Amino acid sequence: MDNNPVYNASIIVTSELENELGKILSGYPEDKIFLVTEQNCDKYCVPIISQTPGFEYFKKVVIPSGEVHKKLSSVEKIWLFLSQNGADRKSLVINLGGGMLTDLGSFAASTMKRGMDFMNIPTTLLAQVDASVGGKTGFNFNGLKNEIGVINQPNTVLIDTRFLKTIDSQNFISGYAEMIKHGLINSPEHLEEVRNFDLINIDYELLRGIIARSVAIKDSFVLRDPTERNIRKALNFGHTIGHAFESFALESGYPILHGYAVAYGMIAELYLSHKVCNFPLSLLPIDDSR
């Protein structure tokens, strides 16, 4: 696998993040680059990009960590930060974080000044293989997940597996569930390589190639149906029940990670497919013997 596999001009899976980011930043004025991140990433992930040429000129805003902060007040904080620091249509917003952060930052950039350039640097596996790619942005509202948002593609998504060394096993598994989904809806070969990946002794170089192939599957659906009118809806497999469960958990004060909710949703929806459409029981990842 090449160190810098590029399958889409705007999506780059790389081991040379600083160089790739530096090339992008060279196209913007030094005083027009804005970094949006969250507390955990500010501590563990910002240092990874700190050697990027021009980093010293970044203007930064930090959002509290956690799904409970994926709300309008957080978007308002980003808007205020951009407004007070002279953001305009020549600016670039860099969203550095997991799916919660990239959704928020992307929405804020998409609506500020009627649309500013923005890029995503996802730091969790879930964000790398799903949330940061495809252009869905937004925040939770009125107890419903992602109730408010727009579809607007980032200028660039930079993916580097080094960030995954900063997350715990639960967050890793959360993203792993979305990779399983991509295999189930599109590629038995990808499903097999994901299932065979060693989750205990993680090979980050091997993982880089698997992530590239997983994201390529999602991107193929997005390119065919950018606004989710038809085939892109396949990417929602597991999400109808999963989002309901996730919203209920959040409302109950016991939030669960998105990937876990999607995994539960996929199991439930596969079982419904068996009951309603005679989907082969042998292919379901559940034990029906009881």
Q: How far is CA 30 from CA 97, 106, 137, 181, 184, in A?
A: 22, 20, 26, 40, 44
- CA neighbor of 139 nearest in space, from 110, 173, 177, 172: 110
Catalytic residue of the set 232, 233, 275, 290: 232
What's residue 107's pLDDT?
98
Q: Which of 141, 134, 154, 44 is nearest to 97 (CA)?
A: 44
Q: pLDDT value at position 30? A: 93
Q: pTM of the prediction?
A: 0.90
pLDDT on residue 171: 94
| Domains by residue range for the chain, with CATH | 6-237 (3.40.50.1970)
Exposure string for 147-161, b = 16+ CB within 10 A, e = fewer: eebebbbbebbbbbb
Tokens of 237: 């497999």
Catalytic entry in 56, 114, 229, 290: 114
The distance in angstroms from the start CA to the end CA of the chain is 44
| Cβ atoms of residues 268 and 284 within 8 Å | no
Let me know if 136 is a catalytic residue.
yes
Helices (runs of H) and strands (runs of E) counted in the chain: 11, 9
Q: What is the residue type of 102?
A: T
Tell which residue, 11, 12, 58, 53, has the closest CA to residue 31: 58
Handedness of CA 67, 260, 148, 235 (dihedral sign): positive
Active-site choice (59, 152, 236, 274): 236
Predicted confidence at residue 7, as pLDDT, reads: 44
Catalytic residue chosen out of the listed positions 136, 182, 208, 213:
136
Reading the block at residue 173, the tokens are 């598994």
Question: Which of these is catalytic: 4, 8, 113, 228?
Answer: 228
| Catalytic residue (choose from 20, 38, 67, 178) | 178
What pLDDT, on a 0 to 100 scale, did the predictor assign at position 219?
A: 94
DSSP secondary structure code for residue 31 in this structure: G
Asked about 76 being catalytic, the answer comes back as no
The pLDDT, as a whole number, for residue 285 is 59
Active site residue 243: yes
Q: Which pLDDT belongs to residue 87?
A: 97
Active-site residue, 258 included: yes
pLDDT recorded at residue 253: 87
Of the listed 190, 243, 246, 269, which one is catalytic?
243
Per-residue model confidence as pLDDT tens for the chain (290 residues): 344 444 455 999 999 999 999 999 999 999 999 999 999 999 999 999 999 999 999 999 999 998 889 999 999 999 999 999 999 999 999 999 999 999 999 999 999 999 999 999 999 999 999 999 999 999 999 988 889 999 999 999 999 999 999 999 999 999 999 999 999 999 999 999 999 999 999 999 999 999 999 999 999 999 999 999 999 999 999 999 998 998 888 888 888 999 999 999 999 999 999 999 998 887 775 554 44
Q: Cα separation of 32 and 23, whole Å? A: 15
Catalytic residue flag (residue 181): no
Q: Establish whether 114 is a catalytic residue.
A: yes
- Which residue among the candidates 69, 181, 190, 258 is catalytic per the annotation? 258
C-alpha 90/C-alpha 80 separation (Å) is: 17
Instruction: Judge whether 190 counts as a catalytic residue.
Output: no
